[in-house]
Structure 1
Protein backbone atom coordinates (compact mmCIF):
# COMPACT_ATOMS: atom_id res chain seq x y z
CA UNK A 1 0.00 0.00 0.00
CA UNK A 2 2.74 2.46 0.95
CA UNK A 3 5.32 1.83 -1.74
CA UNK A 4 4.08 -1.14 -3.78
CA UNK A 5 7.55 -2.68 -3.85
CA UNK A 6 8.20 -6.43 -3.54
CA UNK A 7 9.60 -7.80 -0.30
CA UNK A 8 10.56 -11.49 -0.21
CA UNK A 9 9.53 -12.45 3.32
CA UNK A 10 6.63 -14.35 4.83
CA UNK A 11 3.97 -13.39 7.39
CA UNK A 12 2.92 -9.92 8.43
CA UNK A 13 4.51 -7.49 8.92
CA UNK A 14 6.92 -7.47 5.97
CA UNK A 15 9.06 -4.61 7.26
CA UNK A 16 9.08 -1.86 9.80
CA UNK A 17 9.31 1.92 10.04
CA UNK A 18 10.96 3.87 12.87
CA UNK A 19 8.84 6.90 13.69
CA UNK A 20 9.69 10.28 15.16
CA UNK A 21 6.88 12.70 16.05
CA UNK A 22 7.09 16.42 16.83
CA UNK A 23 4.04 18.43 17.81
CA UNK A 24 4.16 21.84 16.12
CA UNK A 25 2.49 24.73 17.98
CA UNK A 26 1.49 28.18 16.76
CA UNK A 27 2.41 31.44 18.51
CA UNK A 28 -0.58 31.00 20.84
CA UNK A 29 0.55 27.57 21.95
CA UNK A 30 -2.14 25.75 19.97
CA UNK A 31 -1.38 22.54 18.10
CA UNK A 32 -1.29 23.25 14.37
CA UNK A 33 0.54 20.28 12.81
CA UNK A 34 2.29 16.96 13.35
CA UNK A 35 5.82 16.82 11.97
CA UNK A 36 6.66 13.19 11.27
CA UNK A 37 9.84 11.41 10.17
CA UNK A 38 9.56 7.81 9.00
CA UNK A 39 12.75 5.75 8.57
CA UNK A 40 12.30 2.57 6.55
CA UNK A 41 14.11 -0.50 7.90
CA UNK A 42 17.54 -1.23 6.35
CA UNK A 43 16.39 -4.12 4.14
CA UNK A 44 13.30 -2.33 2.87
CA UNK A 45 15.46 0.78 2.24
CA UNK A 46 17.92 -1.33 0.23
CA UNK A 47 15.09 -2.66 -1.95
CA UNK A 48 13.81 0.87 -2.57
CA UNK A 49 17.25 2.29 -3.38
CA UNK A 50 18.06 -0.58 -5.73
CA UNK A 51 14.74 -0.16 -7.53
CA UNK A 52 15.37 3.57 -7.89
CA UNK A 53 18.92 2.95 -9.08
CA UNK A 54 17.73 0.61 -11.83
CA UNK A 55 14.96 2.98 -12.89
CA UNK A 56 16.96 6.21 -12.70
CA UNK A 57 19.10 5.72 -15.81
CA UNK A 58 20.61 9.11 -16.49
CA UNK A 59 18.50 10.77 -13.82
CA UNK A 60 19.92 11.28 -10.35
CA UNK A 61 18.94 9.34 -7.24
CA UNK A 62 17.75 12.62 -5.74
CA UNK A 63 15.22 13.04 -8.56
CA UNK A 64 14.03 9.49 -8.00
CA UNK A 65 13.57 10.14 -4.29
CA UNK A 66 11.60 13.31 -5.08
CA UNK A 67 9.27 11.35 -7.32
CA UNK A 68 8.95 8.62 -4.71
CA UNK A 69 7.99 11.25 -2.12
CA UNK A 70 5.12 12.46 -4.30
CA UNK A 71 3.93 8.87 -4.81
CA UNK A 72 4.04 8.11 -1.09
CA UNK A 73 2.20 11.34 -0.26
CA UNK A 74 -0.51 10.59 -2.84
CA UNK A 75 -0.93 6.99 -1.67
CA UNK A 76 -1.18 8.00 1.98
CA UNK A 77 -3.67 10.78 1.31
CA UNK A 78 -6.53 8.33 0.89
CA UNK A 79 -5.64 6.58 4.15
CA UNK A 80 -5.41 9.55 6.50
CA UNK A 81 -1.59 9.46 6.29
CA UNK A 82 -1.74 6.37 8.54
CA UNK A 83 -2.35 8.78 11.45
CA UNK A 84 -5.19 9.00 13.96
CA UNK A 85 -5.33 11.81 16.53
CA UNK A 86 -7.74 12.26 19.42
CA UNK A 87 -8.14 14.82 22.20
CA UNK A 88 -10.11 13.46 25.15
CA UNK A 89 -11.28 10.66 22.83
CA UNK A 90 -12.65 13.14 20.26
CA UNK A 91 -11.16 12.66 16.75
CA UNK A 92 -9.18 15.50 15.18
CA UNK A 93 -9.19 16.02 11.41
CA UNK A 94 -6.29 16.91 9.11
CA UNK A 95 -5.67 18.90 5.96
CA UNK A 96 -3.79 17.54 2.96
CA UNK A 97 0.00 17.31 3.16
CA UNK A 98 1.89 19.80 0.98
CA UNK A 99 5.28 19.89 2.72
CA UNK A 100 7.27 16.67 2.46
CA UNK A 101 10.58 15.20 1.34
CA UNK A 102 12.28 11.84 0.90
CA UNK A 103 15.99 11.42 1.55
CA UNK A 104 18.60 8.75 2.14
CA UNK A 105 20.49 8.88 5.42
CA UNK A 106 22.95 6.23 6.61
CA UNK A 107 21.56 3.72 4.14
CA UNK A 108 17.95 4.24 5.19
CA UNK A 109 15.18 5.93 3.26
CA UNK A 110 13.34 8.59 5.24
CA UNK A 111 9.97 10.14 4.47
CA UNK A 112 9.57 13.45 6.32
CA UNK A 113 6.34 15.42 6.19
CA UNK A 114 4.19 18.02 7.93
CA UNK A 115 0.61 16.94 8.61
CA UNK A 116 -1.49 20.09 9.30
CA UNK A 117 -4.62 20.07 11.44
CA UNK A 118 -7.84 21.36 9.89
CA UNK A 119 -7.71 24.16 12.45
CA UNK A 120 -5.41 25.06 15.38
CA UNK A 121 -6.28 23.16 18.54
CA UNK A 122 -5.99 24.36 22.12
CA UNK A 123 -5.33 21.25 24.17
CA UNK A 124 -4.05 22.56 27.50
CA UNK A 125 -5.40 20.49 30.41
CA UNK A 126 -6.59 17.88 27.93
CA UNK A 127 -5.04 14.56 26.94
CA UNK A 128 -3.89 14.19 23.35
CA UNK A 129 -3.38 10.69 21.96
CA UNK A 130 -2.25 9.56 18.53
CA UNK A 131 -1.49 6.34 16.71
CA UNK A 132 0.44 5.90 13.46
CA UNK A 133 -0.09 2.55 11.77
CA UNK A 134 -0.47 0.78 8.45
CA UNK A 135 -4.09 -0.53 8.58
CA UNK A 136 -3.11 -3.69 6.68
CA UNK A 137 -0.13 -4.33 9.02
CA UNK A 138 2.02 -4.89 5.94
CA UNK A 139 4.50 -2.57 7.66
CA UNK A 140 4.94 -2.29 11.41
CA UNK A 141 5.34 1.29 12.62
CA UNK A 142 7.09 1.90 15.94
CA UNK A 143 8.68 4.91 17.58
CA UNK A 144 12.44 5.12 17.26
CA UNK A 145 14.02 3.20 20.14
CA UNK A 146 17.22 3.36 22.14
CA UNK A 147 18.26 0.67 24.63
CA UNK A 148 14.87 -1.08 24.33
CA UNK A 149 12.98 2.12 25.16
CA UNK A 150 11.64 5.01 23.06
CA UNK A 151 14.46 7.33 22.02
CA UNK A 152 14.50 10.79 23.68
CA UNK A 153 13.55 12.46 20.40
CA UNK A 154 10.85 9.97 19.41
CA UNK A 155 8.08 12.23 20.73
CA UNK A 156 8.65 15.93 21.42
CA UNK A 157 6.59 19.11 21.68
CA UNK A 158 8.03 22.15 19.92
CA UNK A 159 8.63 25.32 21.92
CA UNK A 160 8.91 25.79 25.68
CA UNK A 161 5.48 24.62 26.74
CA UNK A 162 5.36 22.44 29.86
CA UNK A 163 4.20 19.02 28.67
CA UNK A 164 4.30 15.42 29.81
CA UNK A 165 4.82 12.85 27.06
CA UNK A 166 4.86 9.10 27.00
CA UNK A 167 4.68 6.29 24.46
CA UNK A 168 2.52 3.31 25.34
CA UNK A 169 3.41 -0.06 23.81
CA UNK A 170 0.93 -2.03 21.76
CA UNK A 171 -0.88 -4.84 23.54
CA UNK A 172 -2.53 -7.06 20.91
CA UNK A 173 -4.47 -10.06 22.12
CA UNK A 174 -3.28 -13.58 21.17
CA UNK A 175 -5.95 -13.93 18.47
CA UNK A 176 -4.66 -10.85 16.64
CA UNK A 177 -1.08 -12.07 16.93
CA UNK A 178 -2.06 -15.44 15.45
CA UNK A 179 -4.04 -13.73 12.69
CA UNK A 180 -1.00 -11.69 11.67
CA UNK A 181 1.38 -14.65 11.89
CA UNK A 182 -0.77 -16.74 9.55
CA UNK A 183 -0.82 -14.15 6.76
CA UNK A 184 1.76 -14.66 4.05
CA UNK A 185 2.98 -12.17 1.46
CA UNK A 186 -0.03 -12.68 -0.84
CA UNK A 187 -2.78 -12.59 1.80
CA UNK A 188 -5.01 -9.60 2.46
CA UNK A 189 -5.31 -8.65 6.13
CA UNK A 190 -8.62 -7.74 7.68
CA UNK A 191 -9.19 -3.96 7.58
CA UNK A 192 -7.72 -2.26 10.61
CA UNK A 193 -5.47 -5.11 11.74
CA UNK A 194 -2.55 -2.72 12.14
CA UNK A 195 -4.38 -0.69 14.80
CA UNK A 196 -4.05 -3.57 17.26
CA UNK A 197 -0.24 -3.46 16.92
CA UNK A 198 0.12 0.33 17.11
CA UNK A 199 1.91 2.19 19.85
CA UNK A 200 0.09 5.16 21.37
CA UNK A 201 1.70 8.55 21.89
CA UNK A 202 0.20 10.50 24.77
CA UNK A 203 0.72 14.20 25.54
CA UNK A 204 -0.67 16.40 28.32
CA UNK A 205 0.32 20.07 28.57
CA UNK A 206 -0.22 22.62 31.31
Structure 2
Protein backbone atom coordinates (compact mmCIF):
# COMPACT_ATOMS: atom_id res chain seq x y z
CA UNK A 1 0.00 0.00 0.00
CA UNK A 2 1.35 3.43 -0.94
CA UNK A 3 1.60 6.22 1.61
CA UNK A 4 -1.28 8.04 -0.05
CA UNK A 5 -3.41 4.90 -0.11
CA UNK A 6 -2.81 4.53 3.61
CA UNK A 7 -3.68 8.19 4.09
CA UNK A 8 -6.87 7.74 2.05
CA UNK A 9 -7.85 4.74 4.14
CA UNK A 10 -7.26 6.74 7.31
CA UNK A 11 -9.45 9.55 6.02
CA UNK A 12 -12.26 7.27 4.97
CA UNK A 13 -14.75 7.53 7.79
CA UNK A 14 -11.90 8.36 10.12
CA UNK A 15 -10.84 4.73 9.85
CA UNK A 16 -14.32 3.29 10.40
CA UNK A 17 -15.60 0.99 7.64
CA UNK A 18 -18.86 1.88 5.96
CA UNK A 19 -21.70 -0.60 6.21
CA UNK A 20 -22.60 -2.53 3.09
CA UNK A 21 -25.85 -2.13 1.20
CA UNK A 22 -25.59 1.60 0.71
CA UNK A 23 -27.93 3.25 -1.74
CA UNK A 24 -26.55 4.48 -5.07
CA UNK A 25 -26.47 8.21 -4.17
CA UNK A 26 -24.37 7.42 -1.10
CA UNK A 27 -21.63 5.90 -3.26
CA UNK A 28 -20.65 9.25 -4.76
CA UNK A 29 -18.07 11.50 -3.09
CA UNK A 30 -18.20 12.30 -0.28
CA UNK A 31 -19.04 9.01 1.44
CA UNK A 32 -19.38 10.32 4.97
CA UNK A 33 -20.69 13.53 6.50
CA UNK A 34 -19.64 15.28 9.70
CA UNK A 35 -21.53 18.25 11.11
CA UNK A 36 -19.09 20.44 13.03
CA UNK A 37 -19.20 22.98 15.82
CA UNK A 38 -16.16 24.81 17.15
CA UNK A 39 -15.67 26.90 20.28
CA UNK A 40 -12.53 28.97 20.74
CA UNK A 41 -10.65 28.41 23.99
CA UNK A 42 -9.01 31.62 25.20
CA UNK A 43 -6.91 32.74 28.16
CA UNK A 44 -5.31 36.10 28.95
CA UNK A 45 -6.33 37.64 25.60
CA UNK A 46 -4.83 34.74 23.63
CA UNK A 47 -6.19 31.76 21.75
CA UNK A 48 -4.99 28.60 23.48
CA UNK A 49 -7.10 25.90 21.85
CA UNK A 50 -10.07 24.79 19.75
CA UNK A 51 -12.92 22.77 21.21
CA UNK A 52 -14.57 20.76 18.46
CA UNK A 53 -17.79 18.77 18.37
CA UNK A 54 -18.18 16.45 15.37
CA UNK A 55 -21.55 14.79 14.82
CA UNK A 56 -21.32 11.92 12.32
CA UNK A 57 -24.13 10.92 9.99
CA UNK A 58 -26.17 7.79 10.72
CA UNK A 59 -24.33 5.51 8.28
CA UNK A 60 -20.91 6.58 9.51
CA UNK A 61 -22.11 6.15 13.09
CA UNK A 62 -23.67 2.72 12.63
CA UNK A 63 -20.62 0.54 13.32
CA UNK A 64 -19.58 2.64 16.30
CA UNK A 65 -23.02 2.53 17.88
CA UNK A 66 -23.25 -1.21 17.20
CA UNK A 67 -19.93 -1.76 18.99
CA UNK A 68 -21.05 0.42 21.88
CA UNK A 69 -24.29 -1.53 22.23
CA UNK A 70 -26.10 -0.60 25.41
CA UNK A 71 -22.97 0.45 27.29
CA UNK A 72 -23.51 3.34 29.67
CA UNK A 73 -22.14 6.76 28.69
CA UNK A 74 -18.60 7.19 29.99
CA UNK A 75 -18.09 3.45 30.41
CA UNK A 76 -14.90 1.63 29.46
CA UNK A 77 -16.54 0.55 26.19
CA UNK A 78 -17.11 4.16 25.15
CA UNK A 79 -13.65 5.19 26.35
CA UNK A 80 -12.02 2.50 24.23
CA UNK A 81 -14.00 3.46 21.14
CA UNK A 82 -13.19 7.13 21.73
CA UNK A 83 -9.47 6.36 21.95
CA UNK A 84 -9.58 4.39 18.68
CA UNK A 85 -11.38 7.15 16.77
CA UNK A 86 -9.27 9.89 18.33
CA UNK A 87 -6.06 8.10 17.33
CA UNK A 88 -7.16 8.18 13.70
CA UNK A 89 -8.09 11.84 13.91
CA UNK A 90 -4.71 12.67 15.49
CA UNK A 91 -2.91 10.69 12.78
CA UNK A 92 -4.36 13.13 10.25
CA UNK A 93 -3.37 16.19 12.31
CA UNK A 94 -6.99 16.66 13.38
CA UNK A 95 -7.84 17.38 9.71
CA UNK A 96 -7.36 21.00 10.79
CA UNK A 97 -5.12 23.86 9.60
CA UNK A 98 -4.66 27.13 11.48
CA UNK A 99 -2.83 30.01 9.79
CA UNK A 100 -1.90 33.60 10.60
CA UNK A 101 -0.30 35.85 8.01
CA UNK A 102 0.33 32.82 5.79
CA UNK A 103 2.24 30.93 8.48
CA UNK A 104 0.94 27.79 10.23
CA UNK A 105 -0.02 28.03 13.89
CA UNK A 106 1.23 24.89 15.61
CA UNK A 107 -0.77 22.82 18.04
CA UNK A 108 0.00 20.00 20.43
CA UNK A 109 0.01 16.45 19.13
CA UNK A 110 -2.30 15.17 21.89
CA UNK A 111 -5.75 16.56 22.69
CA UNK A 112 -6.21 17.95 26.19
CA UNK A 113 -9.56 16.13 26.44
CA UNK A 114 -11.84 14.00 24.30
CA UNK A 115 -14.94 11.83 24.52
CA UNK A 116 -17.32 9.89 22.30
CA UNK A 117 -21.06 9.69 22.91
CA UNK A 118 -24.40 8.92 21.28
CA UNK A 119 -27.07 11.37 20.16
CA UNK A 120 -30.04 9.33 18.91
CA UNK A 121 -28.64 7.43 15.87
CA UNK A 122 -25.50 9.51 15.57
CA UNK A 123 -22.06 9.29 17.16
CA UNK A 124 -20.62 12.52 18.56
CA UNK A 125 -16.89 13.08 19.02
CA UNK A 126 -15.82 15.99 21.24
CA UNK A 127 -12.21 17.04 21.76
CA UNK A 128 -9.97 20.02 22.48
CA UNK A 129 -6.90 20.79 20.35
CA UNK A 130 -4.42 22.79 22.47
CA UNK A 131 -2.12 25.19 20.62
CA UNK A 132 1.60 24.65 21.08
CA UNK A 133 1.88 28.30 22.15
CA UNK A 134 -0.83 30.88 22.92
CA UNK A 135 -1.70 33.06 19.90
CA UNK A 136 -2.54 36.67 20.74
CA UNK A 137 -6.12 37.47 19.79
CA UNK A 138 -5.29 40.99 18.64
CA UNK A 139 -3.43 41.42 15.38
CA UNK A 140 -3.74 39.83 11.98
CA UNK A 141 -6.66 37.41 11.56
CA UNK A 142 -6.40 33.72 12.33
CA UNK A 143 -7.71 31.40 9.60
CA UNK A 144 -9.02 27.97 10.61
CA UNK A 145 -9.99 25.25 8.15
CA UNK A 146 -11.02 21.64 8.80
CA UNK A 147 -11.30 19.22 5.88
CA UNK A 148 -10.41 15.80 4.51
CA UNK A 149 -8.00 16.38 1.58
CA UNK A 150 -9.36 13.38 -0.35
CA UNK A 151 -12.97 14.55 0.20
CA UNK A 152 -13.99 11.06 1.31
CA UNK A 153 -15.46 12.84 4.34
CA UNK A 154 -17.46 16.07 4.05
CA UNK A 155 -16.75 18.18 7.15
CA UNK A 156 -19.08 21.16 7.33
CA UNK A 157 -20.43 23.90 9.56
CA UNK A 158 -24.14 24.39 8.91
CA UNK A 159 -23.76 28.13 9.36
CA UNK A 160 -21.92 30.74 11.42
CA UNK A 161 -24.04 29.82 14.46
CA UNK A 162 -21.88 26.69 14.74
CA UNK A 163 -18.93 28.91 15.72
CA UNK A 164 -18.66 30.11 19.30
CA UNK A 165 -16.63 32.74 21.10
CA UNK A 166 -16.08 32.59 24.87
CA UNK A 167 -17.72 35.38 26.86
CA UNK A 168 -14.44 37.23 27.49
CA UNK A 169 -13.74 37.57 23.75
CA UNK A 170 -17.19 38.48 22.45
CA UNK A 171 -16.74 42.23 22.80
CA UNK A 172 -13.46 42.45 20.91
CA UNK A 173 -13.56 39.52 18.47
CA UNK A 174 -15.62 38.45 15.49
CA UNK A 175 -15.89 35.05 13.83
CA UNK A 176 -16.88 34.76 10.19
CA UNK A 177 -17.48 31.73 7.98
CA UNK A 178 -16.67 31.48 4.28
CA UNK A 179 -18.18 28.60 2.30
CA UNK A 180 -16.68 28.14 -1.19
CA UNK A 181 -18.79 27.53 -4.27
CA UNK A 182 -16.79 25.14 -6.48
CA UNK A 183 -17.69 25.32 -10.15
CA UNK A 184 -20.06 22.80 -11.68
CA UNK A 185 -17.31 20.76 -13.36
CA UNK A 186 -15.51 20.22 -10.06
CA UNK A 187 -18.75 19.24 -8.35
CA UNK A 188 -19.53 16.81 -11.18
CA UNK A 189 -16.05 15.31 -10.88
CA UNK A 190 -16.47 14.74 -7.13
CA UNK A 191 -19.87 13.13 -7.70
CA UNK A 192 -18.38 10.83 -10.35
CA UNK A 193 -16.00 9.19 -7.86
CA UNK A 194 -17.18 6.01 -6.19
CA UNK A 195 -15.90 4.16 -3.14
CA UNK A 196 -12.99 2.62 -5.05
CA UNK A 197 -11.79 5.91 -6.51
CA UNK A 198 -9.52 8.57 -5.07
CA UNK A 199 -8.71 11.95 -6.58
CA UNK A 200 -5.09 12.62 -7.57
CA UNK A 201 -3.02 13.47 -4.50
CA UNK A 202 -1.88 16.82 -5.87
CA UNK A 203 -5.47 17.85 -6.59
CA UNK A 204 -6.27 18.25 -2.88
CA UNK A 205 -9.95 17.94 -3.72
CA UNK A 206 -11.20 18.42 -0.18
CA UNK A 207 -9.47 21.77 0.20
CA UNK A 208 -11.43 23.13 -2.75
CA UNK A 209 -14.67 22.40 -0.87
CA UNK A 210 -13.31 23.42 2.54
CA UNK A 211 -14.90 26.19 4.57
CA UNK A 212 -12.70 28.83 6.20
CA UNK A 213 -13.27 30.35 9.62
CA UNK A 214 -11.76 33.79 10.22
CA UNK A 215 -11.11 35.15 13.70
CA UNK A 216 -10.50 38.89 13.80
CA UNK A 217 -9.97 40.70 17.10
CA UNK A 218 -9.29 44.30 18.02
TM-score by length of 1: 0.85
Query: For structure 2, which runs of at least 5 residues remain unmatched after alignment?
Result: 1-9
Question: Does residue 24 of the first structure (1) align with residue 32 of the second (2)?
Answer: no
1:123 aligned residue: 137
1:66 aligned residue: 79
Which of residues 50, 63, 78 in structure 2 aligns to 1:34? 50
1:90 aligned residue: 103
Deviation at 1:60, TM superposition (A): 5.9
Q: 1:195 to 1:172 in 2, by over 3 A?
A: same
Bigger helix fraction = 2
Question: Does residue 78 of the first structure (1) align with residue 104 of the second (2)?
Answer: no
Q: 1:131-186: CA deviations, max 9, x gaps?
A: 1111221110111x3xxxx152x111213222111111122233432331121011
Q: 1:64 to 1:170 in 2, by over 3 A?
A: farther
1:195 aligned residue: 207
Deviation at 1:201, TM superposition (A): 0.8
Do 1:167 and 1:201's aligned partners in 2 also have CA atoms closer than 8 Å? Answer: yes
Deviation at 1:44, TM superposition (A): 2.3
Give SS of 2:168's match.
coil
Would you say how many aligned residue pairs link Structure 1 and Structure 2? 195
Deviation at 1:98, TM superposition (A): 3.9
2:7 aligned residue: none
- Distance in 2, Cα, partners of 1:190 & 1:83: 20
Which of residues 123, 126, 132 in structure 2 aligns to 1:109? 123
Structure 1's consecutive aligned runs of 4 or more residues displaced over 6 angstroms after TM superposition are: none
TM-score by length of 2: 0.81
Query: For structure 1, which runs of at least 5 residues remain unmatched after alignment?
Result: none
Do 1:25 and 1:159's aligned partners in 2 also have CA atoms closer than 8 Å? Answer: no
Q: 1:134 to 1:65 in 2, by over 3 A?
A: farther
2:196 aligned residue: 186
Give SS of 2:15's match.
coil
1:166 aligned residue: 176
